[in-house]
């Protein structure tokens, strides 16, 4: 694994003193990797071969850190309508589930034991290193004890087609939509609805954060972070609305449910890393914030370490029930 964006993703671009250097080194972005200036994460694979640049990569340590909070946040209310759809699929063969942008496979570890019947998960990511982790720690059994099998596929979800999803029972993705462009979300919705396949798309950032106690800088940092998320045509906090529209326009029934992280003293390690990435990205977007942001981050980290900070990071989960085509 190269270092690249995995361990050092966004810095506070001031002339660092010793303390600032410490903060800068530790940055991990809160809702996806913070890109180096000019980078965009979804274009690079299409440009593969034209240079030595790689797309930004996600640290498995970061994905592991967030897995518990993700599991606690996911919208259980969307599971029953999904189970009903899956139970009504024609034929008695097991489920085939594609998890797009699977990372280390946390979605499968959460969902497979909540669905009945044998399942074959096809885990897609562009990062082979993460796919390796996903294969090793894959779920083994369904809610009713049926067998769960897994295969991995390396590729770009921006190139998804209905043919890739032929025979699929379900498509899932978690913490993925906000790093896609509108065109990629349209491609995604085309593929799912074209294949008549339901999609459970969880934990898309909503662009809202509540910190308690509050600080006058909270809103300014949040706004700059959201602007950073929207760089280079990526949708960031607009992704969830774009996905709802894309699926609805293609005839799917769409249900949305909030899925916020609720971070208190028990989640201080995650909160601290999230804070570093959140503030780091905001300052990368607005370097003029750096001097005040340095103070802000230091005080927030101190409050976090003392168990005096609570953070709600708002996300949304989406279930899109496409019209069945009869093929799945
Ligand atoms: C924030 S991580 C989420 C990982 C995992 N779904 C989870 O919830 O832990 C986003 C994942 O999407 C992958 N990814 C981002 N853009 C992609 C693309 N265009 N094609 C394939 N994978 C992509 C990244 O490599 C990363 O593993």
pLDDT at 92 over 90: no
Global pTM?
Answer: 0.86
Cα 149 from chain centroid? 23
Domain assignment present for 243: yes
Point out which residues pair with 42 in neighbouring strands.
none
Name the band, by pLDDT with cuts 50, 70 and 90, for residue 55: confident
5 close to ligand 1 (CB < 6 Angstrom):
no
Domain assignment present for 44: yes
Whole-number Å distance, alpha carbon 296 to ligand 1 midpoint, is 30
Domain assignment present for 140: yes
User: Residue range 191-200: average pLDDT?
Assistant: 96
Helix (H) / strand (E) element for 317: namely strand 310-321
CATH of the domain at 218: 3.40.50.150
Name the band, by pLDDT with cuts 50, 70 and 90, for residue 9: very low
109, 121, 126, 185, best to mutate for ligand 1 pocket (most atoms within 8 Å of CB)? 126
> What percent of the chain lies above the pLDDT cut of 90?
78
User: Residue range 94-115: average pLDDT?
Assistant: 98
Of the listed ranges 46-55, 160-169, 238-247, the least confidently predicted one is: 46-55
Closest CA to 138 of 151, 125, 154: 151
Residue-level pLDDT at 326:
58
Rounded Cα gap, residues 278 and 26, in angstroms: 12
Domain assignment present for 304: yes
pLDDT at 308 over 50: yes
Instruction: Considering only residues 17 and 79, tell me which one the structure prediction assigns the higher pLDDT.
Output: 79
User: Residue range 225-231: average pLDDT?
Assistant: 95
Residue-level pLDDT at 269:
97
In the chain, how many domains are there?
A: 1
271 close to ligand 1 (CB < 6 Angstrom):
no
- CB neighbour burial string for 30-45, b if at least 16 within 10 angstroms, e if fewer: bbbbbbeeebebbbbb
User: Residue range 143-150: average pLDDT?
Assistant: 97
Of the listed ranges 22-26, 43-47, 58-62, 80-84, the least confidently predicted one is: 43-47
User: Residue range 232-256: average pLDDT?
Assistant: 97
Whole-number Å distance, alpha carbon 42 to ligand 1 midpoint, is 10
Domain assignment present for 327: no
Contacts 24+ apart (CB under 8 A), 161-166: 161/191, 161/194, 162/190, 162/191, 162/194, 162/195, 164/98, 164/191, 165/98, 165/191, 165/192, 165/194, 165/195, 165/197, 166/195, 166/327
Instruction: Considering only residues 43 and 9, tell me which one the structure prediction assigns the higher pLDDT.
Output: 9
User: Residue range 238-248: average pLDDT?
Assistant: 98
Range of the domain at 233: 4-321
pLDDT at 34 over 60: no
pLDDT at 254 over 90: yes
Whole-number Å distance, alpha carbon 17 to ligand 1 midpoint, is 34
- Hey, whose CA ends up nearest to atom 11 of ligand 1? 101
Rounded Cα gap, residues 248 and 274, in angstroms: 32
Contact 314, 208 (CB under 8 A): yes
Whole-number Å distance, alpha carbon 128 to ligand 1 midpoint, is 11
Domain assignment present for 134: yes
Residue-level pLDDT at 237:
96
- Hey, whose CA ends up nearest to atom 4 of ligand 1? 103
Instruction: Considering only residues 232 and 247, tell me which one the structure prediction assigns the higher pLDDT.
Output: 247
Residue-level pLDDT at 287:
97
Residue-level pLDDT at 31:
40
Mean pLDDT of the chain: 85
């Amino acid at each position: 694994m190269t270092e690249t964006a995995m361990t050092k993703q966004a810095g506070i671009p001031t002339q660092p003193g010793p303390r600032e250097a410490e903060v800068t080194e530790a940055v991990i972005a809160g809702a996806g990797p913070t890109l180096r200036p000019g980078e965009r994460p979804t274009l690079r694979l299409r440009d593969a071969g034209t240079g030595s640049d790689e797309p930004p990569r996600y640290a498995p340590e970061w994905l592991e850190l967030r897995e518990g909070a993700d599991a606690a946040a996911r919208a259980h209310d969307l599971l029953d309508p999904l189970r009903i759809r899956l139970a009504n699929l024609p034929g008695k063969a097991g489920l085939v589930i594609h998890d797009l942008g699977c990372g280390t496979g946390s979605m499968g570890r959460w969902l497979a034991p909540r669905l009945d019947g044998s399942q074959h998960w096809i885990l897609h990511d562009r990062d082979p290193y993460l796919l390796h982790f996903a294969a090793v720690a894959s779920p083994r059994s369904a809610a009713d004890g049926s067998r769960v099998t897994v295969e991995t596929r390396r590729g770009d979800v921006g190139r998804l087609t209905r043919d890739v999803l032929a025979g699929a029972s379900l498509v899932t993705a978690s913490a993925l939509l906000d790093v896609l462009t509108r065109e990629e979300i349209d491609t995604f919705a085309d593929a799912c609805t074209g294949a008549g396949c339901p999609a459970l798309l969880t934990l898309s950032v909503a662009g809202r954060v509540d910190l308690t106690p509050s600080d006058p800088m909270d809103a300014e940092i949040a706004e700059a972070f959201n602007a950073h998320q929207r760089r280079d045509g990526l949708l960031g906090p607009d992704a969830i609305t774009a996905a709802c529209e894309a699926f609805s326009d293609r005839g799917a029934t769409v249900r949305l449910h909030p899925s916020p992280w609720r971070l208190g003293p028990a989640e201080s390690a995650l909160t601290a890393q999230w804070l570093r990435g959140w503030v780091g990205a905001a300052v990368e977007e607005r370097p003029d914030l750096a001097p005040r942001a340095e103070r802000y981050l230091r005080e927030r980290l101190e409050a976090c370490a003392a168990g005096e900070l609570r953070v709600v990071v708002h996300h949304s989960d989406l279930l899109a029930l496409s019209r069945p085509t009869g093929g799945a």
